[in-house]
Structure 1
Amino acid sequence: MNELFEHHLHDIEEHFSGWDFSYITESGRMDNGMLSWSYGSIVIPYIRKVTSMLDMGTGGGELLTKFQPLPSVTYATEGYAPNLPIAKQRLQPLGVAVKEVKEDNLLPFGDGAFDLIINKHEEYSPAEVRRVLTSDGIFVTQQVGGNDCARINQALGAPVNKEYLHWNLQNASEELRREGFDVFECKEEEPYQRFYDIGALVYYLKAIPWQVPDFSIERYKDALYSIHETIQSVGFFEVKTHRFVMKAKLQKDC
């Protein structure tokens, strides 16, 4: 195995915090295909109209800070313990209270607390979202579908997590409708994601350990080298992502 390959493997040691992939995105080492929608452009008009909102799964709060000015009552939740101090340090000076949430069906808020609930790539309980949403409130979520980056697992010879294979727009929207929501706008797409060196891929897999739960350099070194050779030949390693977005409100007769 060559020197360049071994050098790139050290990228797994680089620090990752919050939900910040800039180490590999701003350097152009990983790139994503475009969606036909913008999550930010969808949620900002609603944020400007409401007086209370909840950001579910805020990560390190990086994205929420970009949506300023925020409503006078704004809360954020986060379930990944290492992100909590990062989110609090970033968001509390803005007047945003950050709450730790370990169970999606146990949100620490009263009934009808929020005019708007936004959620990017975070699990949620439709019943609990309904409970904390006002009767005329809006729920906006962008989700990662169950087919996301399956080619990574295939190329590594790693099993695909079957627990989430059902997670797609059809099933998610039907789930919301059963809970009394009207899903009034939705889309689903599978844009590409490209890794331009093997170091970008190992960094990515360290950041999202649920993609390949047993990932380690030692366990998958031969498969990683095969992907490295593909990149050296083609210029990149390409996979399909899986995203869907939904805007929902409570049905008036519920």
Structure 2
Amino acid sequence: MGMTYDELIKEALTTPFEGWDFGVFKGRMTEESAALPWDYPGLVKERLAQAGSLLDLGTGGGELLSSFAPLPGRTAATEGWAPNVPVARKRLEPMGVQVVEVGDDDRLPLPDGSFELIVSRHESYDPDEIRRVLTPGGVFITQQVGGEDLAEINAALGAAPHEYADWNLAGAAAELTEAGFEVSWQGEARVETVFHDVGALVLFLRITPWHVPGFDVERYGDRLRALHEEMRAGRPLRAHAHRFALVARPAPAGG
């Protein structure tokens, strides 16, 4: 029979969620991230062996960073969402990683020229700050969530599109070039993400509050109930994750 609408909503609003572990969505939200034409962990590992120092921006609970072990002797991580900071510290500090809590202005409270490799998976960044903190021959690798990400959710709920709807590979590459970087590799893709029940959708929106600002189950109740009926009838909500990635390094002086 499956859970009722009210049961699904209650579960979605009370399920504990820690760090950035999407295991709670198993079978309920399927993301074809394996379908991305590049492998972000692979891009990082490729350069990690030659790096004497590493900075991970927006480490979440440190899940991905810890998977890169053994890490360089000097490794640091930033995190801007307060509940994740203790989770990241518990996981990363025993590995010798300094975890730095940051604000939302993308300022990095770290010394100039202090890291050979800076990586950012789905974390915002300031190109000038990246350039300042990188060593002269350093490398910056990022995978970003594009501005058209899961736009079908906003449309299904009758919510406004993302404020950052024009954030894409071309804009990010131009911004880095303007800040004095050379982009050596880049890629962009859209992959299908399917929500199989309304509870998974509500839980997703609860942990990504920027996706539909001001999201509230009562405010969007009519749309959510309609989606619940569609999903129960075997018509899940199909959306597309928008991702792009690039590798850049500071352009040589005078070049």
Contact 1:151 1:240 in 2 (8 A): yes
Off by >4 Å, runs of 4+ in structure 1: none
Aligned counterparts of 1:91 and 1:41: Cα–Cα separation in 2: 20
Q: CA deviation at 1:3?
A: 6.0
- 1:111 and 2:133 correspond: no
Matched residue, 1:250: 250
For 1:168, the aligned partner's letter is N
Contact 1:57 1:77 in 2 (8 A): yes
Deviations for 1:189-245, whole angstroms, at most 9, x for unmatched residues?
A: 111111111111111010101111111111111101111122123342110111000
For 2:195, the aligned partner's letter is F
Secondary structure of 1:199's counterpart equals: helix
* Distance verdict in 2 for CA 1:60–1:229, change over 3 Å: same
Aligned counterparts of 1:134 and 1:232: Cα–Cα separation in 2: 54
Instruction: Figure out how many residues of one structure are paired with residues of the other and give that number.
Output: 250
Aligned counterparts of 2:43 and 2:232: Cα–Cα separation in 1: 39
Q: CA deviation at 1:94?
A: 0.3
Matched residue, 1:240: 240
- 1:142 and 2:143 correspond: yes
1:66-85 residue pairs with structure 2 within 5 A? 66-85=67-86
Aligned counterparts of 2:231 and 2:44: Cα–Cα separation in 1: 37
Aligned counterparts of 2:245 and 2:173: Cα–Cα separation in 1: 10
Q: CA deviation at 1:47?
A: 1.3
Contact 1:112 1:131 in 2 (8 A): yes
- 1:90 and 2:74 correspond: no
* Distance verdict in 2 for CA 1:104–1:56, change over 3 Å: farther
Deviates more, 1:54-63 or 1:103-112: 103-112
Contact 1:105 1:127 in 2 (8 A): no
Aligned counterparts of 1:48 and 1:230: Cα–Cα separation in 2: 49
Q: CA deviation at 1:37?
A: 1.0
Secondary structure of 1:50's counterpart equals: coil
Aligned counterparts of 1:88 and 1:237: Cα–Cα separation in 2: 36
TM-score, with structure 1 as normaliser: 0.95
Which structure 1 segments of 5+ residues have no match?
A: none
Q: CA deviation at 1:253?
A: 3.0
TM-score, with structure 2 as normaliser: 0.94
For 2:137, the aligned partner's letter is D
Contact 2:148 2:162 in 1 (8 A): no
Matched residue, 2:202: 202
Matched residue, 2:160: 159
Aligned counterparts of 1:66 and 1:117: Cα–Cα separation in 2: 16
1:1-254 residue pairs with structure 2 within 5 A? 4-10=4-10, 11-24=12-25, 27-33=26-32, 34-162=35-163, 164-253=164-253
Aligned counterparts of 2:251 and 2:234: Cα–Cα separation in 1: 51
